[in-house]
Amino acid sequence: MVRILLPTDFSDNSFQAIQYATKVYNKTECIFYLLHTYTPAVYQSDYLMGSPEQIELGDILQKSSTNQLEKLKSKLEDSNGNPKHKFIIHSAFNTLLGEISYMVDEEKIDLIVMGTKGATGAQEILLGTNAVHVLKRAKCPVLVVPPNYEYEAPKEILFPTDYEITYEKEKMSPLLSIANLHNSRINVMHVRAGYELNPTQEKNKAQLGQVLEEKGQFHDVPDNEIITAINEFQVTSKSNFLVMVQNKHTFIERLFMQPVIKKIGFHVTIPFMVLPQL
């Protein structure tokens, strides 16, 4: 049983992300947790002091959140019709990050799936603020789905890596499970830095090859900025699923350290999974 958390702000993007999750795992028994969080715009002092107006506002928001979640659940059950899938709603007065952290621990969540931006996301922000924060801090794998993505089975998976970390099979299982479900090929892309791999990198590469077995194909690409390398690889070998590891020693951390607004070349046009630190 796979336990998947689906944060939603009821935007089209979040609904598309939910639909993507149900399709990717259509052959798997899953519990999907539909999560919506709400916070009154001004509540800190009045709400905590028991102001009747703020308490009433909180009740209104809570009722609205629950009603919208119930409608979403019914819509998904009607359109999905998969006996392997179960939907549970969860409404909370909390920040999104706070409630995700709570739910991951409380419900033993295996995967978070969310849209890259919400209902008010600006076009030029390629990864919304919430998505970036969740990707950086989540204790479990996170999958973000770009707006208006037309579903394709994840047959061609791109896995950029610098071989600076180890690859235990258990920690790689979210990637392996998707590859097994869809008989996918995993293209391991290493960006050359102008020198040979050191002994540690060679050892890690060998370990990764054993974990991926026949599903893995290894590619060395010229030294380049990682975003440019991904885009150029896509031109010659089109992928429909991108996977990276979140680790303080790898290039994904450098990616997040720079303002997303400047990453105009890094259009997140395919679903993007980030595995927590291995």
Q: Which CATH class is domain 156-275?
A: alpha beta
Instruction: Name the residue ranges covered by the structural domains of the chain.
Output: 2-145, 156-275
Assess contact for 114 and 7: CB atoms under 8 A: yes
CA distance readout (Å), 247 to 39, 57, 131, 208: 31, 41, 17, 16
**What pTM does this model have?**
0.86
By three-state DSSP, how is residue 97 classified?
helix
Give, rounded to a whole angstrom, the gap between the first and last alpha carbons of the chain.
23
Is the per-residue pLDDT at 5 higher than 80?
yes
2-145 and 156-275 share one fold: yes
Amino acid at 182: H
Name residue, tokens 């992300």: 17
Q: Which amino acid is at 27?
A: K
Judged by average pLDDT, the poorest of 82-86, 118-122, 227-231 is 118-122
**Residue 115 one-letter amino acid:** G
Instruction: Give residue 278's pLDDT band: very low, low, confident or very high (50, 70, 90).
Output: low
Run of H or E including 93: strand 85-93
Q: In this predicted structure, what is the pLDDT of residue 259?
A: 46
Tell me if 158 sits within 8 A of 243, measured CB to CB.
Answer: yes
Q: What is the pLDDT of residues 148-203, one digit of tens each?
A: 889 999 999 999 888 888 999 998 999 999 999 999 999 999 987 767 899 999 99
Sort strands 156-160 and 241-245 into parallel, antiparallel or unpaired. Answer: parallel
Longest dimension (CA), the chain: 68
Superfamily classification of domain 2-145 = HUPs (3.40.50.620)
Token pair, residue 256, equals: 């997040």
